[in-house]
A and B are shown apart, each in its own frame.
Chain A
Amino acid sequence: MPDNLAWPPPNVGRALLIFGVAVAALAVHVVHMSGASAHSHEMMMSHRGAPSRIVRDQRVGPYLASVWTDPEVGHGPMYVVLEAADGRAFTPPSAVRVGVAPVSGRLPEALHDAHAEPVRRGGRFMTDVMFDRAERWNLRVVIDGSAGGGQLTSQVNAVPNVSPGPFVLVLSLLPFLAVGVVWWRAAVARRRSVALS
């Protein structure tokens, strides 16, 4: 038999079965370890959808401020975008802080320092905030600086996180299983072809 027809190894069916069982076991393991099977995984999820503008061009001292976030339950970025008001030159603020607290009052306000991000015009500040429940939240942005400052307040509705969560892991395992199945079927076809010849 030519060496190329020795491919694949003779026990390929059993190897594929072991591989399939291993993949399934790993999938069960990771879903279990992630906690998805035991309780809601919302707390550990990040809201990473496209941010939407929840405050548009609100005057705060010498700035026009917009606030962007993806208001899903979980951790995620909140952006404060500043432009100079009244056509003046933009002077960066020295501090931008973002506070969130549930409207219900069940938690105290969590105040976060936002850090500046590089932009070509105006200023953009980002911080990580946490919405632990799908409910209405108070939002407060405090701006300080040599050019002046102030604060804006608003409210935002946190919505349930619809991410598939740990099942992304299972999805990421499937390609390896699919390639394994194709390789196995091709191996069987080759062996049959050799046997017929």
Chain B
Amino acid sequence: MTTAQSPVAISNHVALTEQSFLARLNGPWHERGLQIFMGIVLAHWAEHLAQAYQVYVLHWPMTQARGVLGLWFPWLVTSEAMHYGYALIMLVGLWILRRGFVGSSYTWWMVAFWIQFWHHIEHALLQGQVIVGRNLFDSPVAMSLAQLVIPRLELHLIYNTIVFVPMVIAMYRHLIPTESERARMGCTCAGQPRLAAA
């Protein structure tokens, strides 16, 4: 039989099947995982872009400017649940993909994680006020803490930006690692395992 596998290939296969889901996600699946995660992040930015275009270029009233999905599903924009859900997805994504990063990229990725952690607390505060039926400071609208000094639309963009910037720096350093970092990487993001195979 010409299909017989070498002992190394069999060993690799056994190692792969024994890996946990998280280990695979931070190893052979890390590249695809990051692509999907970045797709979700950019889709969210695209919604903000559409909303800003509706407000500032089409001059729609603020209440009508709901992005793209919000035109068909208005509750997505008006309910706190959607905002909290996205903050949670971001937090979980940053956490479960962190082990694939090494060196300085890991540091930057965790900076993004901790900022997102606080962002998520702010959204949990908003969601909590909706559930309890009472707002902070007796305000007629649900309030986050930073909203005391920055309007909500701008605040949301600022939060997303300050999470996104360290995330992109982490991605950059992960895709273009130093030689020592490359040697410690277990994923295909920088291409090295494939190059070795080639």
A residues touching B (Cβ–Cβ < 8 Å)? 1-2, 4-5, 30, 33-34, 36, 41, 44, 46-51, 53, 68, 70, 75, 79, 81, 117, 119-120, 124, 126, 163-166, 168-169, 171-176, 178-179, 182, 185-186, 189-190, 193-194, 197
Contacts and interface: CB of A to CB of B under 8 A. Distances in A.
Contact of A173 (B49, B59, B195): B49
B152 interface: yes
A50 B143 contact: yes
Interface of B: 38, 41-42, 45, 48-49, 52-53, 55-57, 59, 61-62, 133-134, 138-141, 143, 147-148, 150-154, 157, 161, 164-165, 168, 171-172, 175-176, 188, 190-192, 194-195, 197-198
Given A172-B157, A175-B42, A182 B57 contact: no
- Give me the 6 closest cross-chain CB pairs, A-B, nearest first: A186-B175, A79-B140, A166-B56, A172-B49, A49-B151, A34-B56
Nearest to A48: B151
A129 B95 CA distance: 44
Contact of B161 (A30, A48, A79, A171): A171
B49 A169 contact: yes
A50 B139 contact: yes
Contacts of B38: 179
Contacts of A68: 139-140
Specify the main secondary structure of chain B where it touches its partner.
Answer: helix
Given A168-B153, A168-B157, A171-B157, A34 B194 contact: no
30 contacts: A2-B198, A4-B194, A5-B194, A34-B56, A41-B56, A46-B61, A47-B151, A48-B152, A50-B143, A50-B147, A50-B151, A51-B139, A51-B141, A164-B154, A166-B57, A168-B154, A169-B49, A172-B157, A175-B41, A175-B42, A176-B42, A178-B165, A179-B171, A182-B168, A182-B171, A182-B175, A185-B176, A189-B176, A190-B190, A197-B195
Contact of B53 (A164, A169, A174): A169
